[in-house]
Amino acid sequence: MNSETKTSLGLLDIRRVMAALPHRYPMLLVDRVEELVVDERISAIKAVTINEGFFQGHFPGRPIMPGVLIVEALAQAAGILAVESLGLAGSGKLVYFMAIDEAKFRVPVEPGVLLRLDVSFVQKRASVCKFEGKAYVGDKLAAQANFTAMIADPPSA
């Protein structure tokens, strides 16, 4: 039997997501967390709807979610994973992008789908974490990226 016991937080609803992230509409890109295993991984959902503001211009007649927003959704899922794993919920700490590597986009993400965001820690330290993220539409890999984030205090006003 494994001597390490992983803590699974299970389902996190939108209230818990908003408690972990400072993002709000229109930049909040995680609607719920299906599973979060502390210090390990997260599986979250973004419901992609035609009501998203970016679909008006990207692209008229052929709405596709911009790749940079898919990567941002992955990063937000990673932020929730980091905040929950490092015990920073309610601390006011922010998770900032430092690097995005090896981003690849495989299939277009269109309105009406549930985008599954699977993110795992690659490396975890107190102030810098590395992640591997994959976004799926059904069983199809839509996008993937490796990224690094820094945990820091928010800028002073």
Structure confidence at residue 8 as a pLDDT band (50, 70, 90): confident
From 25, 5, 28, select the one nearest 17 (Cα to Cα): 28
Is residue 1 domain-resident?
A: no
Let me know if 23 is a catalytic residue: no
Look up residue 85 and give its two tokens: 């794993």
Tell me the average pLDDT across 122-151.
96
Condensed to tens digits (0 to 9), the pLDDT of residues 135-147 reads 999 999 999 999 9
Structural domain of residue 27, as residue ranges?
A: 14-152
- Which CATH number does the domain housing residue 80 bear? 3.10.129.10
Residue type, 107: V
Look up residue 16 and give its two tokens: 């818990």
More reliable by pLDDT, 55 or 157: 55
Which among 16, 23, 32, 58 is annotated as catalytic?
58
pTM of the model: 0.93
From 119, 66, 126, 67, select the one nearest 95 (Cα to Cα): 126
Is residue 3 domain-resident?
A: no
Is residue 8 domain-resident?
A: no
Domains contained in the chain, number: 1
Res 2 pLDDT > 70: no
